[in-house]
Amino acid sequence: MTDARRHARLVRLTTVGRAFVLLAMGVRVLWRHDVPAAWALLAVALTWTVAQLVAWRAPHVRVAWLEAAVVGLVCGLSLGWTTGVLAALTLAPFVGGLLRGFAGMAVASAAQLAGVLGGALVVHGPLSVETGLAVFTWTVAGVGAGGVAAYVRSTEPDDAPDAVAPYRDAQGLLRQLIDLSGGLSSGLDVRSLGGALLSQVHDHAPAQTLALYVRRGETVVPLLEDPPVGPEAERLAAAAWASRRTQVEGRAFAFPLGEGSVVAGTLSDRVELDLEARLEEVRTALGSAAVQLDTALLFSAFRDAATADERRRLSREMHDGIAQDIASLGYLVDALAARPADPRQAGQLAALRERISTIVSEVRQSVLTLRTSVGESESLGAAVGTLARHLSEVSGVPIAVTVDEHSTRLRAEVEAELFRITQEAMTNAVRHARAGSVEVVCQVNPPEALITVTDDGRGLQQRRPDSQGLAIMRERAQLIGADLAIGDGAEGGVHVEVKLGRSAQDRVAT
């Protein structure tokens, strides 16, 4: 809540407190017909009324100490005739604590006690033991009530929930990330950090096969294998991730590392050692490397989320802006073509309308390209097939897709880059190569993959100065450690091949 609303709520509580204490003392005074106490109670009531009005009308004016002193003085002056209003000593510390915290409670208690003692000593002289105990009792009660009120005030929220506070926090974190990323000794490349981590595992344990798995959703997917591990190690990797505990069966092992990765492999038959004890030593030794890898994985996930959001934003702007404007131009040309000035103009308008239709089709295809991605539930092969179907429907060019996928998934960012490379290759074949047909082969066996796109078009042409497609494809391949080859097809056209992993080509050949 805001400061004004917070103050108003606390003032309402003081109003209730004053009313309650006045009622309690008034019943006692009326029951006993205590006339001196009635006059003292009236003076206290007037003091509290003025203080309450000031609290409502001028919240910046601090009169709690003055209110406490006046109430204390009234109680002190009446001690020679009655002790019936000493319960009023509980309220000033309560109000001070509620409105000003512990400091307000302390000031109000001190001012009130000074008023009581000053008024009593000046008019009546030293207090009797009984009267002194009564003053002490009610003063201590007031301090206790004031402490409770100060605690209540301290637990009140100072500000209303700020709708932009998460964005401010995000700004601060992003600035820190930008400042820190330049000083990271190993950078934020997931594959480089993963390779260094596996090298450290080899240094500590004589593994025959070794693989690094990283988190994707509720399971793990292979990032690196050196050399490829068997199905037993894969199963242990999934079990280690699910249980967050080291798994050992015979000479196969898997252990979780950090917050988002699992190391799995098999031990050499020629080495005898206590495997579980050695793995615990390895986990301890890899603590720093695990932190570096977790940081890189988080940065990669953040980058992918930001990229996907930007692509969606661009697609919306293109659809709502450029596409609509070009379509409006088409309607204007249709209106002009309905009443041409002469046959020559009619031909020009028809050519212009055809060109506008082509541009609209290309813009819509670009919007579709920007919005199409590999989802969590859709595999890479399925996403490539969906894209091929849409491109074929828009362009009229038949695209044949052959998919051979393993049930295990690649990392999300790897799938995304492979998908974009394939997308660019298919789009180039349809849009620029004048292809009559396109053939796509997608083979995925994590952490390896091989994708080829072959068309029967006019082949490689001289690169246009404004064309960045091939350069972007190479950058994407470099980001995930893949090899990209672009050349002439065996029977003409263009052949694009992107290969991830060392043995993809060998496996396909066999």
| Residues 284-309: tens digit of each pLDDT | 888 888 888 888 888 777 777 777 77
Q: Band the pLDDT of 401: cuts 50, 70, 90.
A: very high
Task: Name the token pair of 484.
Answer: 């990209």
Q: Annotate 455-510 with three-state secondary structure.
A: ECCCCCCCCCCCCCHHHHHHHHHHHCCCEEEEEECECECEEEEEEECCCHHHHHHC
Q: Specify the higher pLDDT residue, 387 or 510.
A: 387
Torsion angle in degrees (nearest 10) through CA of 26, 27, 29, 30: 110
Q: Band the pLDDT of 151: cuts 50, 70, 90.
A: confident
CATH number corresponding to 374-510: 3.30.565.10
Task: Name the token pair of 429.
Answer: 């074949």
Mean pLDDT on 436-445? 92
pLDDT number for residue 504: 39
Q: What percent of the chain has pLDDT over 90?
A: 6
Count, residues in the chain: 510
Q: Specify the higher pLDDT residue, 370 or 384.
A: 384
Task: Give the integer Cα–Cα distance in Å for 448 and 481.
Answer: 11
Name the one residue in this structure whose structure tokens are 């090899």: 483
User: Cα 104 from chain centroid?
Assistant: 41
Mean pLDDT on 242-271? 84
Name the one residue in this structure whose structure tokens are 């051979």: 404
Identify the CA nearest to 75 among candidates 32, 33, 31, 25.
25
pLDDT number for residue 184: 56
What are the residue ranges of helices labelled H in 157-209? Answer: 165-181, 190-204
Residue 232 scores a pLDDT above 50: yes
Q: Specify the higher pLDDT residue, 438 or 505.
A: 438
Task: Give the integer Cα–Cα distance in Å for 21 and 112.
Answer: 16
Angle, in degrees to the nearest 10, between helices 64-77 and 91-124: 40
Mean pLDDT on 231-255? 85
Q: Specify the higher pLDDT residue, 420 or 341.
A: 420
Residue 502 scores a pLDDT above 60: no
pLDDT number for residue 140: 86
Task: Give the integer Cα–Cα distance in Å for 478 and 206.
Answer: 31
Judge whether 192 and 212 are in contact, CB under 8 Å: no
pLDDT number for residue 78: 83
User: Cα 218 from chain centroid?
Assistant: 18
What are the residue ranges of helices labelled H in 451-503? Answer: 469-479
Judge whether 213 and 221 are in contact, CB under 8 Å: yes
Q: What is the mean pLDDT of the chain?
A: 80
CATH ID of 190-285, from 3.30.300.340, 3.40.50.1820, 3.30.1330.60, 3.30.450.40: 3.30.450.40
Strand (E) or helix (H) holding 304: helix 287-317
Q: Band the pLDDT of 60: cuts 50, 70, 90.
A: low
Judge whether 267 and 207 are in contact, CB under 8 Å: yes
Q: Band the pLDDT of 217: cuts 50, 70, 90.
A: confident
Judge whether 219 and 261 are in contact, CB under 8 Å: no
User: Cα 434 from chain centroid?
Assistant: 45
80-90 residue pLDDT tens: 777 778 888 88
pLDDT number for residue 204: 80
**Can you tell me whether residue 90 is helix, strand or coil?**
helix
DSSP for residue 338: T
What are the residue ranges of helices labelled H in 209-254? Answer: 231-243
Half-sphere exposure of 441 (CA within 13 A, CB side): 14
Q: Write phi, then psi, for 183 (nearest 5 degrees).
A: -100, 5
Task: Give the integer Cα–Cα distance in Å for 323 and 345.
Answer: 25
What residue type is 91 in one-letter code?
L
Task: Give the integer Cα–Cα distance in Å for 7 and 363.
Answer: 58
Q: Specify the higher pLDDT residue, 369 or 417.
A: 417
**Can you tell me whether residue 404 is helix, strand or coil?**
strand
Mean pLDDT on 200-222? 82
Q: What percent of the chain has pLDDT over 70?
A: 87
Question: Per mean pLDDT, which range of 8-22, 221-235, 374-388, 459-473 is the poorest?
Answer: 459-473
Task: Give the integer Cα–Cα distance in Å for 78 and 127.
Answer: 12
Question: Per mean pLDDT, which range of 17-26, 157-166, 218-227, 364-373 is the poorest?
Answer: 157-166
Q: Write phi, then psi, for 225 (nearest 5 degrees).
A: -135, 135
Judge whether 70 and 108 are in contact, CB under 8 Å: no
pLDDT number for residue 1: 46
User: Cα 311 from chain centroid?
Assistant: 19
Q: Band the pLDDT of 503: cuts 50, 70, 90.
A: very low
Judge whether 497 and 450 are in contact, CB under 8 Å: yes
Judge whether 488 and 460 are in contact, CB under 8 Å: yes
**Can you tell me whether residue 269 is helix, strand or coil?**
coil
Domains of the chain by residue range: 3-154, 190-285, 303-371, 374-510
Question: Per mean pLDDT, which range of 52-66, 252-266, 317-331, 475-489 is the poorest?
Answer: 52-66
Q: Specify the higher pLDDT residue, 484 or 258.
A: 484
| Residue 268: how many other CB atoms lie within 10 Å | 12
Task: Name the token pair of 324.
Answer: 């609509």
Give residue 125's region: left, alpha or beta (phi > 0; psi -120 to 50): left
pLDDT number for residue 422: 92
